[in-house]
Amino acid sequence: MKINEVTGKSRVDEYGAILNFLSKAPKLFKHLKKKPSSQMKKTDFDEIPFSKNKFGKITDPKINKHERAKGKIQEDIDYDKAYRAFTSAEMGSRPAGDDGTGHFIRTFGANKKKDPEAYKKGSSAYGPTQLNVKTAKDFTTRHKDLFKGQDEYIKKYRQQGGNFNKFGREPNKPGYDPKWEYGGKGDLSDPKYHEPFKNLSTSVMRGMMRDLQKKNPNANINDLVKRWRGADQSHDPEYYDRFFKTYNQQ
């Protein structure tokens, strides 16, 4: 049997590969024509309906769709970069200080005159990414697999959030401590808690992307920013500008 010296395959194998390609060509072109060529990415080719693509990945669209529905497939987001970008968006020009503790504060809260409803509602948002305890509790409960090894810190974070909600703007309440007031440093500003806070924040981000992609498999970093901020770009363009300036520079 004659062997192709370049490919190392027999003519039979080569003809078989060609026939296999031609049999699946209609599905291939149907898949690719969904997007203009200018918008194509490597990941688009990952879902071409072949048993394996040139990158060696299984590419059955049904499998990918199923995995996305379970929240297992996520856009290629760098969560370390996202953490720094959210810090920039939330902290603005506020200095972190030599030890970073300048960013580990409770939110100063909404302006009473500009947003009386938000002022009355209050907030337990804390740290560089201003993660509130309600959000943390929600995601650590529903997505436990993303928070393995973080139980001790999560417990402390919930306790701190409880004190924020209990003593904020309540200076006459027994047990009051200024550290739990709006703008206070809380219980977790010490540098030893900085890495655990980052781990908690990035795990919540992953959980958010999981939720977003269950609803929309094409959800991306823009959707994550909207979910975290709670507002789209038209309502807070400066926030988005700070985020993407940092995210895209790294």
Domain locations in the chain as residue ranges: 11-59, 79-249
For the stretch 71-99, pLDDT in tens is 444 458 999 999 999 999 999 999 999 99
More reliable by pLDDT, 47 or 199: 199
Q: Look at 43-47, 210-214, 215-219, 231-235 and tell me which has the smallest mean pLDDT.
A: 43-47
Contact status, residue 49 vs residue 59, Cβ threshold 8 Å: yes
Query: What is the per-residue pLDDT for 16?
Result: 56
Go through 217-236 and write b for each residue having 16 or more CB atoms within 10 A of its CB, e for each that does not. Answer: eebebebbbbebbeeebeeb
Q: How confident is the model at residue 60 (pLDDT cuts 50, 70, 90)?
A: very low
**77's tokens:** 């987001």
Please name which of 20, 16, 72 lies closest in space to residue 49, comparing C-alpha atoms.
Answer: 20
For the stretch 99-142, pLDDT in tens is 999 999 999 987 777 778 777 878 999 999 999 999 999 999 99
Q: How confident is the model at residue 24 (pLDDT cuts 50, 70, 90)?
A: low
Query: What is the per-residue pLDDT for 20?
Result: 60
For the stretch 156-178, pLDDT in tens is 999 999 999 999 999 999 999 99
Share of the chain above pLDDT 90, in %: 63
Query: What is the per-residue pLDDT for 125?
Result: 97
Contact status, residue 224 vs residue 77, Cβ threshold 8 Å: yes
Query: What is the per-residue pLDDT for 219?
Result: 96
Contact status, residue 109 vs residue 123, Cβ threshold 8 Å: yes
Return the bridge partners of 10, or none: 3
**127 Cβ contact partners less than 8 Å away, ≥ 6 residues apart:** 103, 104, 105, 188, 197, 201
Please name which of 143, 124, 142 lies closest in space to residue 132, comparing C-alpha atoms.
Answer: 124
More reliable by pLDDT, 233 or 122: 233
| Other C-beta atoms lying within 10 Å of the C-beta of residue 135 | 19
Query: What is the per-residue pLDDT for 116?
Result: 82
In degrees, rounded to 5, the angle at the alpha carbon of residue 61 between the alpha carbons of residues 76 and 67 is 55
For the stretch 177-229, pLDDT in tens is 999 999 999 999 999 999 999 999 999 999 999 999 999 999 999 999 999 99
